[in-house]
Amino acid sequence: MAGRPTLTLAALLEAVRHDRKLSSAQRTRILCSLRAFVRLTGLNPRRTKASFGECRAAMNRFEPARIGMKRARWGCIRSDVALAFGRYASPPIRRGQVPLSPAWQALRTKLGRSLHISLSRFMTYCSRNGVAPDAVNDCIAVQFFQHIAAFTSVANPKQRYWRTCVHWNQAADTVPGWPPIRLTMPKFRAMISFPWSAFPPSFVADVQAWAEHAVKRDIFDEDAPERPLRPITVEYRVRDIRRFASGAVRAGVPIQALRDLRALTTPAIFRAGVRFFWERAGDRSSCNLYHLAYVIREMAADWVKPDPASLMALRRLTRRLHCRPYGLSPSMLAILEQFDDPANVQRLIALPAALAERARSVPQIERAAVMVQQAVAIELQLVAPLRPSALRNLRLDRHFRIVRNAEGPSVRLVVPAEDTKNHIRLTFDLPTETVRLLETYLRVYLPALTDGEPTVLFPGASGEPKTMVGFSHGIARRIWRHTGLRMTVQAFRHLAAKLYLDRYPGQYFPVGLLLGHQSFDTTRRFYGGLESRVIARHHAEHVIGRAFSAPSPPVPRSTASAMSGAPSIGRPQTMRRVRARN
């Protein structure tokens, strides 16, 4: 059996059907699960090999919540599929609970709950294969990665491998008696940027000096920049400078030649850096390349101040690279296509209330609080689509106000201009359902997430706003788990534009007001044509006379009447003029 080639899913079904070592009930259950697995994942059983390496991508794309299936049922199907793969795979996989060796068992008793969960699979693998704790090395870790990628249903083997290395090193640093062995962190993509330690110290010092200069706001300082940058912008531009300098080095420029930023902005080295990224993009410009060249050119004009001829050469080459993004990325368009189905729209809109209701039955108050916290974030993004950084940093004492009027008190979300990316003040009146969910979160669940009087709406373990990665990934996982929809925090803004334009085609100006765009051109460039599907369907159905299986929504005959049911909003030359009048 060890030398038998890997079976296809169709051959695996036949092998299970003719395996007389299985009882009749076992055979029926496994066959039923395999057929359901093929049907739900959409795999071709005659062409797909019976291995997790072949089936993992399709398994990750399927989410039981999308078709109303319970996760327990999907878990049973995966378990039976794993049993079949392990029984008939080549080489055979040993399954079942196997006790750890005494050495590994002694180490496991020293671990806390978090490290125990993250290292359990790795310790079991080493124990089964006779690897002692003191014999663990990078080679063993790579073999573990190859094992989970080929023979387990782990959704993301690379991430599991990376986390195993992180937590192993953490245990080596913090757990008494743990082997003093450190695993090398894996890198799954070629890195362009060199570490700062690889550059000459004088170059690093000059970059730091420019960073301090770029944020100066003293109007009486003759050396201060005319347009100071925000600290976060400087942080990103320092990263861009290192990336461009690394590209120049990879293009053949000796790294010791980069003594300071003046050397980087010489025409020869600038062209070398541009050529590296030009060839890497397939002998064409890209928005990333244009941005890098623009950053170096602006830094040269403000800080280095080269001679006019050199500065003109930089500007001339940067102009040739000019690239402006039009429309949304293919991955974002794929996310929005899910919401062409009105059922998916309603599923997402109903999710916050469903999460709040489910949290009432969760016994652990901390888990319930996190669930309601994510429900509040989703609800706010539906009614007040903010940028992720603005949403994450919302504060109770700064951004929420109680407004009293003739209809009674209401809650208003106000984001001051200094808290937004483009310095545009945003104001949202929150609907009654949103306020009710927010009040429940503040009264019942928020105290469980922080000590003392809470001031941050979405606090992390330290009481400060959650990290962007953890905050965004948590919301995305929650949406995927409960609705089967791929969604990100940033995608809520694009979804708001799509839903508005589907209802009122051509009305880009109100969309720009809702999203806080500084220029009407920005709204038109990113969302122009987003509602073309609705217009084309209306044209085919009502102009050409072609019928669809499902009736299309009514579309106004002109964009002038598209705002029916909503206040009429004109379209001035710029948004700034409207805001100035307000």
8 Å CB contact between 185 and 161 = no
- 211, HSE (Cβ side, Cα atoms, 13 Å): 18
The token duo for 133 is 């704790």
User: What is the Cα–Cα distance from 454 to 388, expressed in whole angstroms?
Assistant: 20
Shared domain check, 379 and 311: no
Residues 480 and 528 in one domain: no
Q: Kindly state the tokens that stand for 430.
A: 């929150």
Query: Dihedrals φ, ψ of 544, to 5°?
Result: -80, -30
Residues 306 and 455 in one domain: no
Of 489, 515, 540, the position where a domain reaches its end is: 489
Look at residue 190 and tell me if it is in a domain.
no
Query: Domain check: are 359 and 425 in the same one?
Result: yes
Asked whether residue 185 is domain-assigned, the answer is no
The pLDDT, as a whole number, for residue 93 is 54
**How many separate domains does the chain show?**
5
Helix (H, G, I), strand (E, B) or coil at 405: strand
Range of the domain at 355: 330-489
Residue 565 DSSP label:
T
Query: Of 290, 320, 350, which residue is a domain's last?
Result: 320
- On whether both 345 and 482 belong to a single domain, the answer is yes
Q: Any idea what DSSP says for residue 4? A: S
Q: Give the residue from 25, 58, 88 where a domain finishes.
A: 88
Q: Both 310 and 343 in a single domain?
A: no
Q: Are residues 455 and 519 in the same domain?
A: no
pLDDT at 317: 94
pLDDT of residue 34: 93
User: Within a domain: residue 405?
Assistant: yes
Q: How many CB atoms lie within 10 A of CB 536?
A: 11
Assigned domain for 226 exists = yes
Q: What amino acid occupies position 78? A: R
392 and 477 in a single domain? The answer is yes
Express each pLDDT in 272-293 by its tens digit: 999 999 999 999 999 899 999 9
Q: Domain check: are 397 and 484 in the same one? A: yes
The pLDDT of residue 301: 92
Q: Are residues 252 and 375 in the same domain?
A: no
Strands (E), 515-579: none
Q: Looking at the domain assignment, is residue 188 inside a domain?
A: no
- One DSSP character per residue, 341-362 reads SHHHHHHHHHHHHHHHHHHTT-
Tens of pLDDT, residues 117-144: 889 999 999 998 999 999 999 999 999 9
pLDDT of residue 360: 92
Q: Are residues 481 and 379 part of one domain?
A: yes
pLDDT mean for each 10 residues of the chain (582 residues): 67 90 91 93 90 88 85 90 80 62 92 89 92 93 90 88 94 92 86 92 95 87 83 93 95 94 94 95 91 94 92 94 85 92 94 94 92 96 94 92 77 90 90 93 91 87 87 93 92 95 91 90 87 84 80 49 41 41 40
Query: Contact 547/540 with Cβ under 8 angstroms?
Result: no
In a domain, 255, yes or no: yes
Same domain for 58 and 170, yes or no, is no
Of all residues in the chain, the percent with pLDDT exceeding 70 is 91
The confidence score (pLDDT) of residue 273 equals: 95
3-state secondary structure at position 425? coil
- Cβ contacts of 485 within 8 Å, gap of 6 or more: 66, 338, 344, 347, 348, 479
